[in-house]
Structure formats: structure tokens, C-alpha cells
Amino acid sequence: MLASQGIVSAEDAAAILAGLDAIETEIAEGRFDFKIELEDIHMNIESRLAELIGPAAGRLHTARSRNDQVATDFKLWVRNALARLDADIKALQAALIAQAESHAATIMPGFTHLQLAQPVTFGHHLLAYVEMLGRDRARVVDAIGRAEDCPLGAAALAGSPYPIDRQAAATALGFARPSANSIDAVSDRDFALDYLATAAILAVHLSRFAEELVLWSSDQFAFVRLSDGFTTGSSIMPQKRNPDAAELVRAKTGRIVGDLNGLLIALKGLPLAYSKDMQEDKEPVFDAEDTLALSLAAMTCMVADMNVNADSMRLAADRGFVTATDLADWLVRALGLPFRQAHHVAGGLVKQAETRGVQLSDLTLDEFQAALPAIDRRVYDVLTVEASVASRMSEGGTAPARVREAVLAARARYL
């Protein structure tokens, strides 16, 4: 751009580009001699360029500042990191969708407050995480869209006196447009905060699923079994299979949330335009990127690798009177009771079954009719977990037919 605008000669531009290519190779191969007395990466490169091409190296810094150059470089890095993040989330979605398809009709207990609530299918439960991750990917797209302004050409803060073509520079670097305000261009780190905010929300989603894997793989639940690749034994208890990978994913969420908080606090109250405080922008972003890449890879492999114990899930779904809501709904649909009255009748029958130590389906018809004479034998048709799950045919519901539809829709939407 500088050459095309006549700001530097074509010969000097060619020499600078050739020298920079050589320096890039030296750095990639570990042969570049960084000198601490040269203050920073910029001065090291310019000094080495002078050794390679002579006085033309002095024109390298024309019409630019370290301020706009760093903002540009870092924004380019974050945009690439966001693209990598999207691909990693997509891989986890693919693993979840595959398991959901295999277990579209596998019955498990659903929970609220970690108490038995209503029966659902395991496939339906897994698809909930697919939707959460879909929102994470939408945030990634939004963050990329807000990082389309190129800071290069803002110089230190006031712009440049040279006849530069900022749109040409922005286009060459893959940005949509130059930044609109030179002060904002060098002081903006919203793109880094966008990345970290997206990362933090994603990490919270991963931690919720990791916690469920920890619970499900315990002897008390025994819903899934994780392989040796994602568990470790105890140093003294030979029977133990500790879900270490899931626990570490759960723990690393705090680290990523801390990265976001750290940068928010570093930027808080900074006057415009550039301050050295802003040098603290990179470590939290780099740390979050490394941590997320590892966590997503581990979670994707755990999902693909886990062995589902459908029998244990089905047995657990038979406990806790999980069809009580189905009973209340049947009283409304079949007998026309107001739901509040139906809820009261069903609650009384649950107490009776609990006192006898049986399930609702084990109550006799006489016991049902003692609670409400209008109840007939049709009531037994709604008291199995299979009937309960199959009845949830509303859009987004847990019925196996709906889950299979949702799998196809998720595949088309996300993969």
C-alpha cells in the first residue's frame, strides 16, 4: 500500500518484503537472535531487517505506530482464534448429536433441583447441550462480526499525515473496513473481551456437562462409564475409577472466567488513548484459548467414547413417582378437572403410594377411585415411563419421535 501510494519506492518496498519473509523464516526455525536491549519485537525485527537490506529498513515504520500495529496484529490473532473455537465447538456438537441419535429412545430420569422430576430420553438431554453450544457458536460469529474494523493507519492515536489508503490495507488483511476513529482504533480491546466473554460462557456450559459426567459415572448413578483414557485409579483403593478429565474441565472454567475478569479490571478506568496497561490483554486471551482447546478436545472424546448404561437409567426412572405429572395431566384431559384440582388429587395418591412403599401404577383401582370416583382403568395407561415419554410430543419435547426429528434438524443447522 505504501508503495502503491508513492510513499515508499517500489524498490524499497520489494526489499522490505523480501527481508521480512527471511526474518519470518528465521523466527519459525528458531534461528532469530532476539536482543533484550532492543526493547521489543518491533525494534528487534527492524534491527535485523537493517542487517539484511541496509538503509531501506528505516522506511519500515513509515505511517504506522506500534499502537495501531499491535492492535491490528492482536485483532487478527483473535479472529483466527475465534474461527478455531467455532470448529472445536462444532466437533463437540457432532459427537453429542451422534450419541443423541443412538439414544433417542433411551429412557432416563429428568431432574429439577437434582431431584427426580419426569422421565426423559437420554438423546433429548444431550441435545440440550447441542443447543447451548449453538448459542456459543452464535456468539463466536457475533464476535468475529464486531472485529471487522482494521486499526492499521490510526498510527499512535491521531491518524497519519501520509496519503495512505486505509481501505486497501484493511482489504489486504482480510478486514471489512478501516476503523472509523483513530483514538478508538488504538484503545479498543473489545474484541479481546468479546473473545473472553464468549469463552467464559462456553466454559460454564462445559462445566455443567462435566459435572453431569462426574455424577453419571458414579456408582450411585451408574448411567455412563468412562474409559481408562479419561479416568484414573486411586493410589490406595484399587476399585476406584476417578473421572479426572471431567473434573479438570469443570475446574478450568474458573481459570477462564478469571481471564475475563482480569482483563475487564485491567481496562477499567483507562483514559484514552493507549496506556501500557493494555499490554496485559494478551496473556489472558492466550491462556483462555489454550485452556478451551484442551477442554473441548477432552469433552468431545469423552462424549464419543462413553459407554451408556441404558438399564441403569431405565431403573432409575422408575423411582420417585416420576409419572405423577402424567397422572395429573390425564385427570385434566380425560376427566376435565381443573389442573390445580388434578394436582391436588395426584399429590394425595403419591402420598398413599409412598406410605405403602409402592409405585403409583401399583395402586389398586379401588384406591384410585377412593381419591376420585371418576377414575377408571384407563389411568394405568399413563403411569408407565414409556407412556410418559411417548406422550411428550410438543415441539421440542422428549418423545423419541421428536428427538429423532431434532437430531436431523440439529445436524442440518449445526454440522
Q: Which of 175, 123, 211 has its CA nearest to residue 410?
A: 123
Distance between CA 107 and CA 390 in Å, rounded? 10
* 113 annotated active-site: yes
Amino acid of residue 104: A
Which amino acid does the sequence have at 55? P
* Residue bearing cell 483414557: 229
- Length reported for the chain: 415
Active site residue 103: no
Residue owning grid cell 437409567: 313
Q: How far is CA 353 from CA 4, 317, 367, 374, in A?
A: 86, 16, 10, 19
d(Cα 265, Cα 259) in Å, to the nearest integer?
10
- Quick one: cell of 267? 481496562
CA–CA distance, 47 with 229 (Å, rounded to integer): 49
* CA proximity to 88, closest of 136, 50, 124: 136
Our CA dihedral for 182, 185, 188, 189, rounded to 10 degrees, sits at -160
Q: What are phi and psi of 119, to 5 degrees?
A: -70, 140
Please name the helix (run of DSSP H) or strand (run of DSSP E) that holds residue 178, with its range, or none: strand 177-178
Query: Catalytic one among 4, 218, 227, 234?
Result: 234
What values do phi and psi take at 308, rounded to 5?
Answer: -90, 130
Q: How far apart are CA 195 and CA 267, in angstroms?
A: 15
Catalytic residue among 113, 207, 295, 388: 113
Active-site annotation, residues: 113, 234
